[in-house]
């Protein structure tokens, strides 16, 4: 439906970033960018309107231009509309001037949902008509799945849309091919550039550095290569370059984009370390650098991101890097922490258990050692917890209520040293304990093994077999080469293991 009535707040552009191909919910977040439009053409009236006056009409040149654009998308029925701004259809927004002449400021096409009745496109034949350039007041252009049956490059002519007034260009999942046209860098007033889900290739053009007013840049799910541009946009809130083939490092200049709420560079081919400069982004809510080839360690500067809600660094091979115990003490807002498959070593930081808002925790497929921190019992809001595929030992610290609540979302397998306490009642049938031994049987097996080891230790040296007993003043055996085999280490080994089991 046309929008002849324009309340004072309707000049706000609201863009919802909702990826069509959504990965697991823990690894994505949705953000709404609200951009005030304060520099519109002075000729237009922005006060609340009460409706069309009898003499109000759409500008005749813009009427023809809209009908041509509509016809090019397969909506030839628009030729029958006597006045496009006074017509009753979604997808067009108009604003009057002081002479009651209405001007088109926004066009939208594509069946976004059943509840959003923008004009659908004929995907097999739809094209973008050059008549769009005859709309001098146009601020926003939106096409969704319009050219999928007729793949075509993004038209360079879009770079000629009102450089001082055009605000938002959204071309989502249209099947666009070829490079991003350098001409888009001419749109100096652009706030939103969304080219998500096409088949765009080549590098991100350097001309986009000129778009200093950008609030949102989404080039995700394409085939772009080359480096991540060194953006320094002071107003940029959303940066999503995920699911491409970008190379090189994460630019330190992103630390200068102080308004950033979301950075998603996942599923690329990025190398090098994570720059400390990202720790300066005090407003950042989501940081996803997963599925790259970044190296460690995880910079301590990230522990300063007090607003961070989602930290996703999985599948970057940071072999044997450790995470300091107090790293998470300042990240109280975290709801999602994903550090899977990174080769992290050392003990699991106790400070993770202090994250009271945490819903999703994935530490699986690393090389963590030691025990599961007892503080994890306090993760009362957790809906998924994975520590499987590590080298953890000792009893599982979770109570039966927590284990039943998490169900299949609790995974502890692949840690041969883990066990559960049979003294806890009600654990029968807990899925997470499948394949996990009870601590009593582990004590029994280990004690038997120690007794056996204590009785006989066989050392082979140069083909000569020497038997070593474990008495405190036990004899020392020499092999053919005269090598002395001491037995004191065995007593220490036995004492440490027995002490550990007594403490269980």
Count the Cβ atoms, other than its own, within 10 Å of residue 247: 16
Pairing mode, strands 216-218 and 238-240: parallel
What three-state secondary structure class fits 490? helix
Domain boundaries, the chain: 54-139+146-150
The beta strand positions in 265-407, using DSSP E, are: 269-273, 286-288, 293-295, 310-312, 336-338, 345-347, 360-362, 367-370, 384-386, 391-395
Residue pLDDT, tens place only, 366-394: 999 999 999 999 999 999 999 999 999 99
Phi, psi of 85 (to 5 degrees): -80, -25
Instruction: Give the HSE-up count for residue 269: Cα atoms under 13 Å, Cβ half-sphere.
Output: 10
Position 361 scores a pLDDT of 98
Report CA-CA distances (Å) from 226 to 182, 184, 205: 15, 18, 10
Per-residue confidence band for 43, with pLDDT thresholds at 50, 70 and 90: low
Q: Is the pLDDT of residue 131 over 80?
A: yes
Find the mean pLDDT for residues 189-213: 97
CA distance 376 to 394: 14
Report CA-CA distances (Å) from 247 to 162, 243, 256, 279: 33, 12, 21, 22
- The residues with which 57 forms a beta bridge, in sequence order, are 101
Residue pLDDT, tens place only, 458-486: 444 444 333 333 333 344 333 444 434 44
- The residues with which 113 forms a beta bridge, in sequence order, are 116
Pairing mode, strands 336-338 and 360-362: parallel
Position 474 scores a pLDDT of 41
Find the mean pLDDT for residues 388-406: 93
DSSP 379-435: -TT-SEEE--SSEEEEE----HHHHHHHGGGEE--S-TEEEE-TTSTT-TT-GGGTT
Q: Which residue has the higher pLDDT, 13 or 156?
A: 156
Smallest Cα–Cα separation from 19: which of 250, 247, 288, 204? Answer: 288
Percent of the chain with pLDDT over 70: 76
Count the Cβ atoms, other than its own, within 10 Å of residue 450: 17
Position 496 scores a pLDDT of 45
End-to-end CA distance of the chain: 70
Position 478 scores a pLDDT of 39
Q: Is the pLDDT of residue 190 over 70?
A: yes
Position 20 scores a pLDDT of 36
Percent of the chain with pLDDT over 90: 67
Smallest Cα–Cα separation from 285: which of 304, 305, 261? Answer: 261
Position 1 scores a pLDDT of 41
CA angle 216/222/226 to nearest 5° reads 85
Phi, psi of 21 (to 5 degrees): -100, 90
Residue pLDDT, tens place only, 426-436: 777 777 888 78
As a whole number of Å, the CA-based R_g of the chain is 32
Widest Cα–Cα separation across the chain: 114
Residue pLDDT, tens place only, 327-351: 999 999 999 999 999 999 999 999 9
The interaxial angle of helices 439-455 and 488-503, nearest 10 deg, is: 160
Across 5-19, 301-315, 357-371, least confident range: 5-19
Per-residue exposure over 252-279, b if at least 16 CB sit within 10 Å of its own CB, e if not: eebbbbeebbbbbbbbbebeeebbebbb
What DSSP designation does 119 have? P
Q: Is the pLDDT of residue 246 over 80?
A: yes
What three-state secondary structure class fits 300? helix
Per-residue confidence band for 38, with pLDDT thresholds at 50, 70 and 90: very low
Q: Is the pLDDT of residue 22 over 50?
A: no
Candidate ranges 214-218, 322-326, 441-445; pick with highest mean pLDDT: 214-218
What DSSP designation does 436 have? P
When the pLDDT of each residue in the chain is averaged and rounded to a whole number, the result is: 82
Per-residue confidence band for 48, with pLDDT thresholds at 50, 70 and 90: very low
Q: Is the pLDDT of residue 106 over 70?
A: yes
Per-residue confidence band for 53, with pLDDT thresholds at 50, 70 and 90: low
Position 235 scores a pLDDT of 97
CA distance 208 to 233: 11
């Amino acid at each position: 439906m046309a929008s002849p009535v324009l309340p004072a707040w309707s000049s706000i552009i609201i863009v919802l970033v909702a990826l069509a191909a959504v990965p697991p919910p823990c690894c994505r977040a949705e953000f709404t960018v609200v951009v005030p439009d304060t520099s519109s053409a002075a000729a237009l009236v922005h006060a609340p309107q009460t409706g069309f006056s009898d003499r109000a009409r759409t500008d005749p040149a813009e009427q023809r231009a809209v009908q041509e654009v509509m016809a090019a998308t397969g909506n030839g029925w628009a030729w029958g509309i006597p006045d496009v701004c006074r017509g009753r259809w979604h997808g067009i927004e108009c604003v009057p001037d002081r002479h009651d002449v209405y001007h088109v400021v926004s066009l939208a096409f594509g069946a976004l949902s059943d509840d959003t009745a923008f004009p659908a496109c004929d995907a097999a034949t739809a094209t973008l008509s050059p008549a769009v350039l005859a709309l001098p007041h146009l601020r926003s252009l939106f096409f969704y799945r319009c050219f999928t049956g007729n793949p075509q490059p993004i038209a360079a002519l879009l770079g000629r849309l009102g450089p001082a007034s055009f605000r938002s260009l959204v071309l989502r999942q249209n099947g666009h091919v070829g490079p991003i046209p350098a001409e888009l860098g001419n749109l100096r007033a652009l706030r939103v550039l969304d080219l998500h889900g096409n088949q765009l290739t080549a590098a991100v053009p350097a001309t986009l550095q000129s778009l200093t007013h950008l609030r949102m840049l989404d080039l995700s799910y394409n085939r772009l290569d080359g480096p991540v541009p060194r953006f320094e946009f002071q107003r940029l809130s959303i940066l999503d370059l995920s699911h491409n083939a970008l190379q090189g490092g994460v630019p330190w200049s992103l630390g200068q984009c102080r308004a950033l709420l979301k950075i998603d560079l996942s599923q690329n081919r990025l190398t090098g370390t994570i720059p400390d400069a990202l720790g300066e982004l005090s407003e950042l809510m989501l940081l996803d650098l997963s599925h790259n080839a970044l190296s460690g360690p995880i910079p301590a500067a990230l522990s300063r991101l007090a607003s961070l809600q989602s930290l996703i660094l999985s599948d970057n091979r940071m072999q044997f890097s450790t995470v300091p115990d107090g790293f998470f003490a300042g990240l109280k807002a975290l709801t999602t922490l994903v550090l899977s498959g990174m080769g992290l070593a050392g003990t699991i930081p106790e400070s993770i258990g202090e994250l009271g808002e945490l819903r999703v925790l994935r530490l699986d497929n690393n090389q963590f050692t030691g025990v599961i921190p007892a503080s994890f019992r306090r993760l009362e809001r957790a809906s998924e917890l994975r520590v499987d595929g590590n080298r953890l030992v000792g009893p599982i610290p979770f109570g039966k209520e927590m284990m039943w609540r998490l169900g299949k979302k609790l995974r502890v397998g692949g840690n041969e040293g883990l066990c559960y306490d049979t003294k806890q009642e009600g654990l029968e049938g807990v899925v997470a304990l499948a394949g996990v031994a009870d601590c009593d049987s582990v004590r029994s097996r280990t004690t038997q093994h120690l007794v056996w080891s204590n009785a006989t230790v066989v050392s082979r040296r140069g083909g000569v077999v020497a038997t070593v007993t474990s008495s405190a003043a036990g004899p020392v055996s020499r092999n053919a080469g005269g090598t002395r085999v001491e037995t004191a280490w065995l007593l220490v080994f036995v004492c440490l293991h027995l002490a550990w089991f007594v403490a269980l």
